[in-house]
Amino acid sequence: MCGIVGYTGTTKAARILLDGLERLEYRGYDSAGICVSDGNREHPLQAWKVKGRLQALRDATGNGEQVPGFSGIGHTRWATHGEPNTENAHPHLSGGGKVAVVHNGIIENYQELRQKLEGKGYVFQSETDTETIAHLLNEYDKGDPIDAIVRTVMHLRGSFALGILFEDRPGEVYGVRRDSPLIAAVSDEGAFIASDVPAILPYTRKVTYLDNMEIVCLHKDGLTFYNMDGEPIEKEFTTVSWDVEAAEKGGYAHFMLKEIHEQPKALEDTIRPHIQDGKLVLSELGMTDDEIRGIRRIQMAACGSAWHVCMTAKYIFERLARIPVDVDLASEFRYRDPVLEEGTLLMVVSQSGETADSLAALRYGKAQGMLSLAIVNVVGSSIAREADRVFYTAAGPEIAVATTKAYSAQLAACYMLAMHFGLVRKVMAEEDYLRHITALSRLPEQIEQILQQEARMQWLAGKYANTRDAFFIGRGLDYASVLEGALKLKEISYIHAEAYAAGELKHGTISLIEKGSMVMSVATQHDLLEKEISNMVEVHARGATLLAVTYDGNYAMEDQADFTIYIPKTEDVFYPSLVVVPLQLLAYYVSLARGIDVDKPRNLAKSVTVE
């Protein structure tokens, strides 16, 4: 989603803004702009905006060199209101350059505000909701910027993170947020605001996360924070644990490929700190054994791949901890008026910790009195801060739009929680528990082995890159895994791909299977193997090209499949962690073969901060 960078300091702002925006490119965008304040000009605030990639903005500004001034705001826009074009690109100015604004989020009452502002004579240049904010700020600016910001945000419904410049406050940049992320940081070079940490990493690792309805002013002496009463407040700073290299490609062609290869480390870092003397230690979670024994049901909610983690986790928790689990898409959960019994634990899974629907699901569940537990990757994110209990995955920064290592780390977190719950509730025998811990600890090295098949996956991808329709089938836990396999393929290759529980095919979908259809069958669950093979026979007989993923030594698959990918053997419950790796590689190389920008597929954004 949109990216915001703001800076004031001793270095020329334009270059810092452009570099910062580049580090936020992964969030997805379709236009970009900067506005820099230069007190030496007759009109200090000047904006440069382009449709398309950031490179066009670099070209238009001589890589920032043609833009004088030491404070400014920059933005990459992911279009919501109005098509992606220069007029709709941010920053938006009001009063002929009295105020400039960049915005992430959606203003729900912008039509109403627009009408009122037009009534007062304001002329709109764009179709965006953001322009109303610029005009409101102009309207309320009577010389006190904090007062103008407070009055303005009081009129806004919806979500926003804002970066603001005032013509008559050269050297100052303002930020404020509600339900869209904004961080602030300071270094020897100056002070910053940004949507996410990578933007400021080359300058500092010390950051603070603005809370809802907090205002920050960047100025020559650093940062000052204010509440909505306009009173200065103190904020705590945290040190980000990863460095600038972690957010760079490190020799890989794409972030996605790098992140696929980082999975052994992501799992190791997520699992290892929780294993002591061969047992799981989850004391950091802060859940007492009584709390765990008191859980009668788990309600999970998430979006996209994180929802697939929940679909997998349903099998895992039910099998290992014998707790019934319901899984909802976060965007549906609160609208279906769910029946939430006492003793229900709400689990929200999110890499970014900022996904608007997941955050709303968390708030809804908490408001119904549920105890909440979040599995989150980004430390200090909104979901992490608002959940009662947090399990942090240690995947490090995930930049590629399509998730890989965060997905795997989320799965690892679910395994650990389910095993721990199973042991505490005495439904998992000690010897099974220990055997499962051994299997869990081996996953990083087993993923490493699968990654050695990369060249084979590339060859396979080249062969099927022109496929029109792909179907992913599996049963039980394999069904949960194919949901992710199909999403990976479709989102970055634009090939139509669907996932089906293999047993469901004949209830309609099989009519779509014809010569040339690609069917990927995942078959790892021992008790379901024969049935899965029967389903493979059915599609093969109808002319589909059949690919399969199964465990080492299960050569019976080759009787049906045109191509079989083998993964190392493990306990049945852990196969989802291994299966996903060849499916990610397949998607990556198909996308590459089709000439698509793998890290930035069309229309997609990394952190979906609007509903």
Question: Applying CB under 6 A, which residues contact ligand F6R?
Answer: 303-306, 350-352, 355, 358, 402-403, 487, 491, 607-608
Nearer to ligand F6R, 58 or 490 (CB): 490
Work out how close the CB of 536 gets to ligand F6R at its nearest, in angstroms, rounded to a whole number.
Answer: 27
Q: Which amino acid is at 190?
A: G
Query: What tokens appear for 499 in the block?
Result: 């996932």
Cβ closest to ligand F6R, residue 358 vs residue 570: 358
Work out how close the CB of 487 gets to ligand F6R at its nearest, in angstroms, rounded to a whole number: 6
- The C-alpha atoms of residue 344 and residue 373 are separated, in whole angstroms, by 11
From residue 352, alpha-carbon distances to 5, 383, 410 in Å are 18, 9, 12
Answer yes or no: 414 catalytic. Answer: no
Cα–Cα distance for residue pair 523/478, rounded to 1 Å: 7
Q: What burial letters (b/e) apply to 131-151, b meaning 16+ CB within 10 Å? A: bbbbbbbbbbbeeebbebbbb
Distance, CA of 411 to CA of 570 (rounded, Å): 15
Q: Are strands 297-302 and 344-350 parallel, antiparallel or unpaired?
A: parallel
Nearer to ligand F6R, 316 or 402 (CB): 402
Q: DSSP letter at 88?
A: T
Nearest distance, CB of residue 403 and ligand F6R, angstroms? 3
- Coil vs helix vs strand at 484: helix
- The DSSP code for 107 is B
First to last CA, the chain: 12
Which residue lies nearer to ligand F6R by CB, 107 or 489?
489
In the complex, least distance from residue 579 CB atom to ligand F6R, rounded to whole angstroms: 16
Q: 127: helix, coil or strand?
A: coil
Nearer to ligand F6R, 133 or 301 (CB): 301
* Pairing verdict, β 496-501 and 469-474: parallel
Query: How far, in Å, CA of 611 to CA of 54, rounded?
Result: 26
Of 303 and 547, CB closest to ligand F6R:
303
The amino acid at 84: P
Torsion angle of alpha carbons 523, 525, 526, 531, nearest 10°? -60
Residue of this chain nearest to ligand F6R (CB atom)? 304
- Reduced to 3 states (helix: H, G, I; strand: E, B; else coil), residue 299 is strand
Rounded to the nearest 10 degrees, how much is the dihedral formed by the CA atoms of 8, 9, 14, 15? -130
CB atoms within 10 A of CB 569: 16
Q: Which of 51, 488, 490, 606 is catalytic?
A: 606
Q: Which one, 292 or 583, has the nearer CB to ligand F6R?
A: 583
Q: Where are the beta strands (DSSP E) in 492-572?
A: 496-501, 518-523, 545-551, 563-567
| Residue 375 C-beta: closest distance to ligand F6R, Å | 9
Cβ closer to ligand F6R: 381 or 570? 381
3-state secondary structure of 4: strand
Q: Give all strands (DSSP E) within 408-451, no chain letters.
A: none
Give residue for tokens 């990493």: 201
CB 572 within 8 A of CB 444: no
- Beginning with the edge strand found earlier in the chain, give each strand of the sheet holding 173-178 in spatial order: 92-94, 99-104, 160-166, 173-178, 215-219, 222-226, 232-233
Nearer to ligand F6R, 1 or 99 (CB): 1
**Residue 49 bears catalytic tag:** no
Is the CB of residue 264 less than 8 Å from the CB of residue 258? no
Residue 605 near residue 28 (C-beta atoms within 8 A): yes
Q: Shortest gap between Cβ of 577 and ligand F6R (angstroms)?
A: 16
| Whether the Cβ atoms of residue 551 and residue 446 lie closer than 8 Å to each other | no
- Nearest distance from C-beta of residue 352 to ligand F6R, angstroms: 3
- Which amino acid is it at 104? N
The CB-of-483 to ligand F6R minimum distance in angstroms stands at 11
User: 45 or 401: whose CB is closer to ligand F6R?
Assistant: 401
Catalytic residue among 2, 35, 217, 303: 2
Give the shortest CB-377-to-ligand F6R separation in angstroms: 7
Closest distance of CB 305 from ligand F6R, Å: 3
Q: Minimum CB separation from ligand F6R for residue 77, in Å?
A: 18
> Of the two residues 146 and 489, which places its CB atom closer to ligand F6R in the complex?
489
Q: Are 266 and 393 in contact (CB under 8 A)?
A: yes
The helix (run of H) or strand (run of E) holding residue 163 is strand 160-166
Just list the catalytic residues. 2, 606
